[in-house]
Chains A and B, each alone.
Chain A
Amino acid sequence: EPEVTQTPSHQVTQMGQEVILRCVPISNHLYFYWYRQILGQKVEFLVSFYNNEISEKSEIFDDQFSVERPDGSNFTLKIRSTKLEDSAMYFCASSLGQVNTEAFFGQGTRLTVV
C-alpha cells in the first residue's frame, strides 16, 4: 500500500541551527501538507502546497519556515534558525484531491531543539 515516508525519524539540533525535514509523498498525489504536534497538544496545520507553490499557511508558518519540492518526489520543510519552541512532531501529508478528500500522513519526524 502506498505510504508517505519521512526522514529522519528523530532530529536533534541546537538552537539557532537550520534543519531540513524530508518527506516523500504518495506518488500520484498532488497536494502536500505539513502539520506539527507539540507534545501534549493537538495536531496543527502549518502549510499546504500545490503546483510548486504555497496555497495556504498558518500563522505558525512565519519567515523562519519554508517548503520546497526540489525534484518532483521529495517535499521538504526547512526551519532556518530553530527555537526551543519548534520542538515537536512534524507530520507530512499528501492528498489526491483538492477538497473533501482524506490526507494521508507520514510517520512523523520528532524534532528536538536543545
Chain B
Amino acid sequence: DQQVKQNSPSLSVQEGRISILNCDYTNSMFDYFLWYKKYPAEGPTFLISISSIKDKNEDGRFTVFLNKSAKHLSLHIVPSQPGDSAVYFCAASVPVNTGFQKLVFGTGTRLLVSP
C-alpha cells in the first residue's frame, strides 16, 4: 500500500543547477507534508514542510510546492550544491484517531550533485 510514492529512485544534477524532487500521494486525508534529507548512517534530518492549506513554502534554497488537486508535491533546490547529495524522503502526516499524527514516508530519491 504505497500511499506516498517517489517514482524516481535517483537524480543527478550539476552544481549550480536546479534539483527537482517529486512526490505523489494517494490519501486525501494527508494534511501536512514534509521533506527529510538522509545521509548514510544518520537519521532523517528535517528540511522543510508545507500545510495542505498552502501551495508553496520557501526556506532559503529550498522551496516546496503542493498541488492538492493532482496530489503531488515537489521540492526545488536552487542552486544545488555538492553537499546536498543525499537521499531525500517525502513524508505525509495523517491525523489518527487519537488526534496524533503519524508520518508515512516515500521510498526516497537519491540526489547526486556533481561539481
Contacts and interface: CB of A to CB of B under 8 A. Distances in A.
A56 B105 contact: no
Interface of chain B, helix or strand or loop or mixed?
strand
Contact of B99 (A44, A58, A99): A99
A28 to B, nearest CB: 16
Nearest to B32: A100
Given A42-B106, A100-B51, A102-B34, A91 B43 contact: yes
Contact of B105 (A43, A58, A102, A106): A43
A98 B99 contact: yes
Contacts, number: 73
Nearest to A3: B43
A42 B108 CA distance: 7
B91 to A, nearest CB: 8
Interface residues of B, number: 29
A101 B89 CA distance: 16
Contacts of A6: 43
Interface string A78-105: 0000000000000101000011111111
B43 A106 contact: yes
B51 A105 contact: no
A98 B101 contact: yes
Interface in B63-80: none
A45 interface: yes
Contacts of B32: 99-100
Given A48-B100, A100-B31, A42 B107 contact: yes
Given A48-B100, A105-B44, A105-B45, 20 more contacts: A6-B43, A31-B100, A35-B103, A42-B106, A42-B107, A43-B89, A43-B91, A43-B103, A45-B103, A45-B104, A56-B96, A91-B44, A99-B31, A99-B99, A100-B32, A102-B49, A105-B43, A107-B41, A108-B42, A108-B43
Interface of B: 31-32, 34, 36, 41-46, 49, 51, 89, 91, 93, 95-108
